[in-house]
Amino acid sequence: MALFVSQAVFLKQAVVTGFGGTIRALPLKMPRAVRDHGTLDPSLGRMGTLEVRLAITKKDIRRAQKLRYNVFFGEGGAIADARSALARRDICPFDRICDHMLVIDHAAKNRFGRIKPKVVGTYRLLRKDIADKNGGFYSAQEFDIAPLLAKHGDKNFLELGRSCVLPAYRSKRTIELLWRGIAAYVQHYRIDAMIGCASFEGANPLKHALGLSFLHHHALAQGEWAARALPEQSVGMDMISAEIIDLRRALDALPTLVRGYLRLGATFGEGAVVDRQFGTVDVLVIMPVSKIDAKYLDHFSPEKRAA
């Protein structure tokens, strides 16, 4: 897929009043597309005033970056580099090659009370064929995924990342809409497996001992799907022995996103990684599509969405 395409600039005429009351027409540039999604309709689903769709223009991507900045750096306390701090956007080199999924509230209002649609949620998507041409996956910076990819050389991987939602929209409806979008994307590109980093808030692994230990003992990827953190960054997850873990308390200790992955049937790599910049403890999510519970595949499928 050509991620960056050269397109003619479309013009429309705006009639304005010039000096002296004369009427003249000015050409206005329409947003230039930077993503070509081919036969995949960028609009992937809608629930009420909320729509999930893929970014098409540079403005779309900047809006996703701005949302990520507000959540990660404003709310979450991550440390922005100089470029991101100046632009007040979470700018990452991988943004250039990724697809960006947006949840847009078309009924949102600005400070003047006028309706102005805004981005309230986002996910970043990177397919293996694109990653292979551009230096690999983002998660390879923390996890040794090369053996995993080599064992499944015939499979089409998708990396999920940079997920965030505004506090007021952290509801079942928003999350479900994101997953309906991902399901449509997975089906269109015939994705076989999804991977990505999921985060525990706070850079002290000991504070997440219960949740990390639960993942190690009850949801560790095995056999041909096993993977582990890079040795120089790895933090052990088995801090509490399996026999003394309170399963209900352990589930409650997991981030909402991690619990969601678990429900879908995800497993996790061995070892966690502390991300100092974002102030998080990261784990590797490994989710073969064939192992996702059929009831969820049916619920989030594009056919279900259309019905």
- What residues in the chain have per-residue pLDDT under 70? 1-32, 295-307
pLDDT for the residue 31: 59
pLDDT for the residue 76: 83
Inter-helix orientation angle 256-264/172-188, to 10°: 50
What's at 130, amino acid-wise?
Answer: I
Segment (H or E) for 151: helix 146-151
Q: What is the distance between the alpha carbons of residues 228 and 234, in angstroms, rounded to a whole number? A: 8
Where exactly are the structural domains of the chain?
11-306
Architecture of domain 11-306: 3-Layer(aba) Sandwich (3.40)
Segment (H or E) for 261: helix 256-264
* pTM of structure: 0.86
CA angle (210, 214, 220) in 5-degree steps: 145
Q: 109 phi and psi, to 5 degrees? A: -120, 150
Report the chain's mean pLDDT, rounded to a whole number.
88
pLDDT for the residue 3: 38
